[in-house]
Structure formats: C-alpha cells, structure tokens
DNA sequence: CACAAAATTAAACAATCGTTTAATTTAAAC
DNA sequence: GTTTAAATTAAACGATTGTTTAATTTTGTG
C-alpha cells in the first residue's frame, strides 16, 4: 500500500478516485455514498479504495486536505489596487473565483462541518475561516484608514459573504424558477456573475452606510 | 397501524419520536442516524418506529411536514408598523424568531435540500421559499412607495438573509472563538440577538444605499 | 370478568455496508 | 529473461442497516 499519511503525492489513479468520490459525496452525502458506488463510477475494484486510501474515512480526509488550500484568500490577488473600493471589488471576485474552482468540495466541507459525526475536519475548516476573516479585516481596515469605509465586524461580513454564496449555489434548482438565464450561458456562469455583483454591492453598502 | 397519510393527528408517543429523530437527524444527518439510535434514545422498541411511521423515510417526511409551517412569514406580525424601517425591523425579528423556534428542523431541511437522494422534499422547501420571498418583496415595495427604499431584488435579499442566518447558526463552534458571550446568557440567545441586529443593519444598508 | 383492539416485544429477515484475504496479473528492476 | 514489487481481482468477512413477523402484554369497552 502506498504511503500518503504526511505529504500527499497522489498518482493519477488516486486523483481520479478523489474526483469521483468528491462528486458523489457532494451529491448524496458521505454516508449515503458507498465505496461500491465510487468503485463502479471509477471502473475499479472496490478493494482498490482501501488499497489506496486505507479507509473510506481517510479518503474523505485526504480529499479535503488535498483541496482546501485553494479556498484561502490570497492577498496578492487584490492588494495591488490602491483604491479601497476597487480592492474590495477585486477581493470579492477572487473570493467567488476560489469557491467556484471546486464547488463540490465546498459542499462537502459545509456538510461535514454541520455533522457532528466527523468533527475532526472542523479544525481544517476553522483554520480556513480564520485566515479568510483576517484577509477581510485587512481590506476593511485599509478602507477605514483611507477614510472611505465605516468599520464593520469582519466576522459578520464573512458570515454574510459565505452564507450568501452557499445559499446561492446550493439552491440552484430553487433559483432557476426565479431568474432568466441569457441563452448561450451556463447556469453556473450566470450564477457566478450575479453572485459577484450582489456581493460587491452589499459589501459596499454595508461599509459606507451611515446610520 | 395508525393512519397518518393525509391529516396528521400525532399522539404523544409519535411526537416524542419525532422530537428525538429531529435532534438526531440534525446532528448526524439522516443516513448516519439509524432507527435503532432513535429507538434507544426514545426508550422504545425498534419496531415501534415502523409501527407508527411505516418507514424511516416516511418518518422524515411526516417530521418535515409537521414543522415546516412554522417557518412561513406571517405578514400580520409586522404589517401593523406604518414606518417602512420599523416594518422591516419587525419583519426581521419575526423571521429570526420563526427560525429559532425549531433550529433542528431547519438544519434537516437544508441538508435534505442539498442531498439529491431525497429530492422530493425540495417541493415543500421551494414553496416555503417562494412564500417568504413574496412577503419580503411586499415590505421592500412598501418602502419604495413611501419613498425611503431603493428597490432591490427580493430573491437576492432573501438569499443573503437566509444564508447569513444559516452560516451564523451552523458554525456555532467556529463562532465561539471569535466572540465573547456576556455571562448569564446562553450562546443561542446571544446569537439570536446579534443575528437580528446584523440582519436589520445590512437590510437597511442595502435598501438605502445609493451608488 | 370477558373480549377486542392497540401497543409492545424479541427475534429473525434479507440487503448492504466497509474491510480483509489470498490469489493472480501487470509492471519495473536487474 | 528472471526476479521482485506493485496493482488488481473475486470472494468472503462480520457488522449493521431498515423492515417484518409472530407472539405477548397492555389498554379500553361492554
């Protein structure tokens, strides 16, 4: 059996299993997805999952650890903008981009965070959250120092951002009846554009609102 | 076996099973909760669940149908306020109140809405959403007619409200490290107060913001 | 008390779960 | 080409799943 306990050097076979497991876990949930489901979709023998990942739970852990880094806000992506409004806008774009880069994993993460059965992954999730809240705080403080933003609790801002995103994404089927999608555009693309616009707007509104 | 297919007259035993199942489904998820888990916690024989509810899935359906009505926004709770700002504030309070009246069920609903395995309940969820979006629209339009609100898409407003609420509630463990709870106050009470305040603020900000 | 219906029980059911084994095939190294 | 390791397979493992059965107890009614 290959070792993957510390650093993760995943071969193509493992990456393929991960990709399929990710989609199934996101769609049906971890518990409702059997290793035989995964094996069938990946066209491999059931035993290969244990051979490569030791256990189903460990597959989940590897899968999460492998992808979670992509969700961390990278300040370099927006701090080049000196105008606070522009920086905020760029940050939002980067934020939405990062989430959309792997929607399946993010759904798994939130489901796992809710379930108390496997609370161990909450640590990874918390670290991610802390990181992103700190980045958000920096952007807010920058605007405050420039005299254009009113300070607002970044924890609350982050909650609203992430909550709006999740609700937007996860209720795809519900949203479809309320909106018209321009032809030649995929639903997800449209969602991404509208979500970005909406988030930019509400953040600006919150940060410049005077009671 | 008692009949519960159409109107639901649930006896005390059934209500007790529902209450326990609700807590377990919310905590561990539907699939990760066995009927034996429920029976043990309810101190009844496993067969009683099938005796009273036919199947585990039907228990879920009865459980959802029995509680979902409480989440519908009731215009009478806030339309007495003639000032648009006050009406908006009262609506938010009523909104948060209704969700907090049964947090477990709401978690189950969102988890079920995400899972594609039992998509049938999505219909109930969609109807609820449509109802609440319509109530929200009325409040917005009222403020616009009074000349104090700028119109903003109620679907987006609703997404942000519900998303913020869910994220607030479901990441309880994550939030705890970021905030200080006044002594003599439960975490949920504090959460409720802060959430209400936050939602009022962002809705006002969005609805009065001029680009 | 007698009788009927409802409630409750222990036991067994077949199906599915994640995992392990032991044998076999494929690939790499010398 | 032979040897060694890695990859893959089918089969079986015990445990757990939701559900059903059939017997028993409890409850309500006359």
A161 CA: distance to closest CA in chain B (Å): 8
The nucleotide whose C1' lies nearest the CA of B43 is C8
Distance CA(A192)–CA(A103), nearest Å, equals 11
Q: Is 50 exceeded by the pLDDT of residue B139?
A: yes
Rounded, the Å distance between the CA of B130 and C1' of C15 is 40
Rounded, the Å distance between the CA of A50 and C1' of D11 is 16
Rounded, the Å distance between the CA of A100 and C1' of D8 is 36
Q: Is 60 exceeded by the pLDDT of residue A6?
A: no
Q: Which of A114, A128, A137, A191 to mutate to test the interface with B (most CBs of B within 10 A)?
A: A114
Distance CA(B65)–CA(B14), nearest Å, equals 14
Contacts of B131 in chain A (CB under 8 A): none
CB atoms within 10 A of CB A63: 21
Contacts of B171 in chain A (CB under 8 A): 113, 129, 159
Six-digit token string for B162: 């519900």
The pLDDT tens digits for A102-146 are 989 988 988 887 777 776 687 888 889 999 999 999 999 999 999
Q: Which of A156, A191, A209 to mutate to test the interface with B (most CBs of B within 10 A)?
A: A156
Mean pLDDT of A183-204: 91
Instruction: Identify the three-state secondary structure at position A127.
Output: helix
Contacts of A32 in chain B (CB under 8 A): 31, 115, 117
The pLDDT tens digits for B4-51 are 444 457 778 899 999 999 999 998 999 999 999 999 999 999 999 999
Mean pLDDT of A5-31: 84
Contacts of B162 in chain A (CB under 8 A): 163, 167
Rounded, the Å distance between the CA of A39 and C1' of C15 is 19
Q: Is 50 exceeded by the pLDDT of residue A69?
A: yes
**Strand (E) or helix (H) holding B41:** helix B35-42
Mean pLDDT of B111-120: 75
CB atoms within 10 A of CB A188: 12
Give the nearest chain B residue to A123 (CA atoms).
Answer: B174
pLDDT at B8 (0 to 100): 56
The b-or-e profile of A11-43 (16+ CB within 10 A means b, else e) is eeebeebbebbbbbbbbbbbbbbebebbbebbe
Name, in order, each residue with C-beta under 8 angstroms of B145's C-beta and a sequence gap of 6 or more. Answer: none
Distance CA(A69)–CA(B70), nearest Å, equals 40
Q: Which of A26, A127, A160 to mutate to test the interface with B (most CBs of B within 10 A)?
A: A160
pLDDT band at A4 (very low <50, low <70, confident <90, very high): very low
In this complex, the residue of A29, A113, A206 whose CB is nearest that of residue B202 is: A206
The pLDDT tens digits for B176-197 are 777 778 888 888 888 899 999 9
pLDDT at A89 (0 to 100): 97
Q: Is 90 exceeded by the pLDDT of residue B203?
A: yes
């Amino acid at each position: 059996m290959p070792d993957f306990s510390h650093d993760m050097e995943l071969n193509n076979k493992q990456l393929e299993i991960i990709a399929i497991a990710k989609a199934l876990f996101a769609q049906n949930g971890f518990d409702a997805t059997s290793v035989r489901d995964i094996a069938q979709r990946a066209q491999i023998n059931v035993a290969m999952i244990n051979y490569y990942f030791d256990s189903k739970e460990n597959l989940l852990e590897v899968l999460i650890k492998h992808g979670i880094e992509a969700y961390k806000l990278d300040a370099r992506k927006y701090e080049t903008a000196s105008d606070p409004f522009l920086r905020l806008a760029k940050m939002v774009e980067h934020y939405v981009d990062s989430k959309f880069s792997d929607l399946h994993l993010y759904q798994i993460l939130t489901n796992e965070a809710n379930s108390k059965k496997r609370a161990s992954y909450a640590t990874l999730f918390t670290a991610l959250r802390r990181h992103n809240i700190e980045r958000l705080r920096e952007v807010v403080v920058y605007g405050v120092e420039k005299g254009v933003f009113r300070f607002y609790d970044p924890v609350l801002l982050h909650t609203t951002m992430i909550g709006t995103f999740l609700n937007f994404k996860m209720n795809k089927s519900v949203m479809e009846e309320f909106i018209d999608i321009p032809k030649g555009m995929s639903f997800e693309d449209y969602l991404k554009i509208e979500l970005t616009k909406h988030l930019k707007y509400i953040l600006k509104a919150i940060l410049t609102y005077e009671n």
